[in-house]
Amino acid sequence: MKPKQDVQQLLKLAQRVQALSENGQHFAESDYDMDRYTELEKISLEMISLITDTSIEIIQPLIEEKFGYRTPKVDVRAVVFDQDDAILMVREKIDGKWSLPGGWADVGYTPAEIALKETSEEAGIDVEPGRLLAIFDKKCHDHPPDIFYSYKLFIECKPLNDKLKTGYETLDASYFAAEDLPELSTPRNTLNQVEMMFEYRKGKRSWPYIDL
């Protein structure tokens, strides 16, 4: 079995080939070019399928756009602390593990509006979005392989009420201290990322983080 770092690098390359093939089809000026870009796309989908252990039939409709220049997806996470400096997390139905409230950005909403909406839907509380804390490139962190190439926006939010309740995608919602974090849903957030949020809370960080 290849080391995890090698697997992530292979996935990154396959995603890049898929994006280039889709962009090439969009701008192709001849049937020859279109045939070559279409073949590259098939190869890239096979690679992603092998790396992620996901069938091409599932991958293809999820990652192909076919109507413009291929760009990364955007995931927004709300960073909410209570008065005791504990961080809000929700338990995901999909894997039974915990993450910061959030999800894919929806067309027509600002990132701040997504943070507000997702926190309300997943944890049942209203928040006031504030500053941007971090923009993570998923490939730079210890996430499991994913069919999507994505950026993650972590936005600090102030809780406006404290009555937590679950939503249709969550099993539970609770606040956790830095030394008592639950098992994390690593496709959504890593331990390093969550620990970084505590550093902002404690004043050890102030400037927004961005991967280089």
Separation between Cα atoms, residue 177 and residue 46, nearest integer Å? 43
What average pLDDT does the structure give for the chain?
Answer: 92
Residues of the chain with pLDDT under 50: none
Per domain, the residue ranges of the chain are 4-63, 73-210
Q: What is the pLDDT of residue 2?
A: 60
The CATH topology of domain 73-210 is Nucleoside Triphosphate Pyrophosphohydrolase (3.90.79)
Burial 93-110 (b: 16+ CB within 10 A, else e): eeeebbbbbbbebeeeee
* Encoded tokens for 169: 């995608």
Q: What is the pLDDT of residues 21-57, one digit of tens each?
A: 888 887 788 988 889 999 998 999 999 999 888 899 8
